[in-house]
Amino acid sequence: MHTIHTSPFFHTSNNRTPQLHLLIMSDTTKPTYHYWAGVASRGHYLFYTLGYNGKLDDIIVKGDQPYPGTPEWASGEGFIQSKMGQLPVLTDEGDVSIGQGRAILNYLCKKFSIGQDLSLADYGKSEELVEQANDIHNLLGKAHYGADRTVSMNEIFASGGPVEKVLNAYEDHVGGAVAPGHCCFAAALNLLVRLEPECLAKNPKIKAFYDEIQANEGIKTVNERCPYPYFKRNSN
């Protein structure tokens, strides 16, 4: 039986609001990721990991959920939320329903055998990079929702600021085989570059690592499907 799902592809209307196309998906056994489509945010880390490893189209992205603060969201009808009433959520065969982005990432890495052959040391390194990516995301979130967004963003990207400190700390720690943590770290770097295009210029090893990840065809597809940055550089 065919089931209608929303695809991660979309066009924009005149007001630049993403308008999702509908595709007929014949394979209903794929895991379904419930999260807003087209926006580079929490889903970016998962998409980079799947994209780099050629598994991006092994999941269905259902991206037409209403936004928090709207009557449609408040109704809680017609879409799935996590146990805490949040997104993302992953559903899969056997009544699987998982909230929390990190849990979803781990579940799909195990399901698709991504990074399962890592040594213990490389696994630890990968996990550290995942956590550091999360710290970068939280740093951006704090600045984004600061009292003056422009000032807050200027502060984190300033010379000697927290972004520079992270990049300097990891300049010599992004080599080796690309594991899930590398993908997540590269996704976080992409969010930084979208806000400050030259932020990697003083870190040649990280810049070379970032450029290598960006050259991957799956990563190019992720960036094409998620053109809208969630975080903004300025208050306006």
CB atoms within 10 A of CB 69: 8
Which pLDDT belongs to residue 40?
A: 95
Mean pLDDT of the chain: 88
Which pLDDT belongs to residue 188?
A: 98
DSSP assignment of 129-191, as one string? Answer: HHHHHHHHHHHHHHHHTSSSHHHHHHHHHSTTSHHHHHHHHTTTSS-SS--HHHHHHHHHHHH
When pLDDT is averaged across residues 1-7 and rounded to a whole number, the result is 35
pLDDT at 154 over 80: yes
Q: How confident is the model at residue 28 (pLDDT cuts 50, 70, 90)?
A: low
Q: How confident is the model at residue 133 (pLDDT cuts 50, 70, 90)?
A: very high
**Rg from Cα positions in the chain:** 18
The pLDDT tens digits for 172-194 are: 999 999 999 999 999 999 999 99
| 139 within 8 A of 164, measured Cβ to Cβ | no
Residue 98 parent element (H or E): strand 96-99
Domain assignment of residue 167, given as a range: 120-229
- pTM of the shown model: 0.87
For the chain, percent helix, then strand, then coil, each to nearest 5?
45, 15, 40
Which pLDDT belongs to residue 212?
A: 97
Is 79 a domain residue? Answer: yes
**Residues 24, 27, 33, CA angle at the centre, nearest 5°?**
85
The pLDDT tens digits for 85-111 are: 899 999 999 889 999 999 999 999 999
Distance from C-alpha of 56 to C-alpha of 61, rounded to nearest angstrom: 10
Q: How confident is the model at residue 76 (pLDDT cuts 50, 70, 90)?
A: confident
Same domain? For 163 and 65 the reply is no
Which pLDDT belongs to residue 27?
A: 53
| 16 within 8 A of 74, measured Cβ to Cβ | no
Which pLDDT belongs to residue 94?
A: 85
Is 86 a domain residue? Answer: yes
Last residue of a domain, one of 87, 111, 135: 111
Same domain? For 208 and 178 the reply is yes
CA dihedral (159, 162, 168, 174) in degrees, to 10, reads: -140
Give first-to-last CA distance, the chain, whole Å. Answer: 47
Q: Picking from 24-38, 57-71, 185-199, which range would have the lowest pLDDT averaged per residue?
A: 24-38
For residue 10, the domain's CATH number is 3.40.30.10
Same domain? For 125 and 225 the reply is yes
